[in-house]
Structure 1
Amino acid sequence: MKLLILDRDGVINQDSDDYIKSVDEWIPLPGAIDAIARLSKAGWTVAVATNQSGLARGYYDEATLEAMHQRLRQLVAEQGGELGLIVHCPHGPDDDCNCRKPMPGMLQQIAEHYAAELQGVWFVGDSSGDLQAALAVDCQPVLVKTGKGQRTLARPIPAHTLVFDDLAAVATQLLA
């Protein structure tokens, strides 16, 4: 199985320090939907692991989050692709869970769902927490410069982290 795991906010869609709280605020980044569709059509399984502490903070509810993910799936399908499993952490930063990145729980959940090994699987994110989660389960950390990526790049990042301009560039590399 060719598995690729993505963070959501800042990788697939625009991020906001005020949180993405509605379907209207969920705006895909240029080329991201096409990138997922191209990968899917080429036989890749694309999964998503996303921290959603806005749930714990009461900024939106599970139904709103699901509506955002339905919109994402619909847009990918319109391009002829399919999006795989989407897992999210609903907890806040002080909830001491195993799923909130940089903890590896969501990545382990994806691996279990697909009965897949995570060693070497690319995990694409825009934050140091994403990179740390990748390392915790021996995934290949991949940083995109979208979202918080430029901020993350301004600090030391783990050795062997691959860096790309955006998700479209990641897809182009994987499909080369």
Structure 2
Amino acid sequence: MNKAVFFDRDGTLNEEVHFLHRIEDFTWTEGAIEAVKFCNDHNYLAIVITNQSGVARGYYPEADIMKLHQWMNEQLREHGAHLDAIYYCPHLAEGKIRKYAIECDCRKPRPGMLLRAQKDFDVDMSKSYLIGDGDRDIQCAQAAGACGIRYTGGSLYATLLKGIQRDNRIEALS
């Protein structure tokens, strides 16, 4: 089985921008690229899970999300890093776009995106982490059996390392 680090996107991998969907509005948080590279170098899958209710609200199309995510991976490749997968939830029950205006199991804090990734990549949740800036991220991790790491600013890389080192479920990093 594989181990993974699941990254929240907005407010964790990138600076918080309300309903971010344009490349020109994207800024990596401090240590974000290093955190992803750490995962790549230490046999953790690096997977993004992100709520994107702007789609259901009619603020932007799914194509904008796809373009931004492709650009993120291009940027990471310039640093010898990559994301193994990106899962997003475009749903919101009270959304304006009927197709996306549904209750779903993938909108955090529900664990649907994690469980889908677990199945797609044979992930051992007991050896995996979700790092995010909100309560819903920690709740999502717990619901899926992963360890939640709260990011409150500063270096994402340092926060990830401290979170893994504090986790008594696994052996120290080799």
Flag as ranges the 4+ runs of structure 1 deviating above 6 A. none
Give the unaligned 5+ runs of structure 2: 95-101, 165-172
**Is the partner of 1:141 in helix, strand or coil?**
strand
Partner of 2:159: 170
Mapping for residues 66-145 of structure 1, pairs under 5 Å:
66-92=66-92, 94=94, 95-145=102-152
Give the Å deviation of 1:119. 2.4
- Aligned partner of 1:155 in structure 2 is none
The amino acid across from 1:14 in the alignment is E
Deviation of 1:30 after TM superposition, in Å, equals: 1.9
Tell me if the contact between 1:35 and 1:167 (Cα under 8 Å) persists in the aligned partners.
Answer: yes
Residues 6, 129 of structure 2: 8 Å contact kept: yes
- Structure 1 segments unaligned to the other structure (5+ residues): 147-164
- Give the Cα separation in 2 of the matches to 1:106 and 1:59: 22
CA distance in 2, matches of 1:6, 1:105: 15
State the Cα deviation string for residues 57-91 of structure 1 (Å, max 9, x = none): 11111111011111110111111112111000000
For 1:24, what is the secondary structure of its paired residue?
Answer: helix
Q: Who is 1:50 aligned against? A: 50
1:13 aligns with 2:14: yes
In structure 2, relative to structure 1, the CA distance for the partners of 1:93 and 1:166 (3 Å cut) is farther
Describe the superposition over 1:72-119 as per-residue Cα deviations: whole angstroms up to 9, x where unpaired: 101111111121110000001543111000111001011011112212
Question: What is the aligned-residue identity percentage?
Answer: 32
Q: TM-score, normalised by structure 2?
A: 0.82
Number of aligned residue pairs: give it. Answer: 157
Within-5 A mapping of 1:142-161: 142-146=149-153
CA–CA distance in structure 1, aligned partners of residues 3 and 151 of structure 2: 20
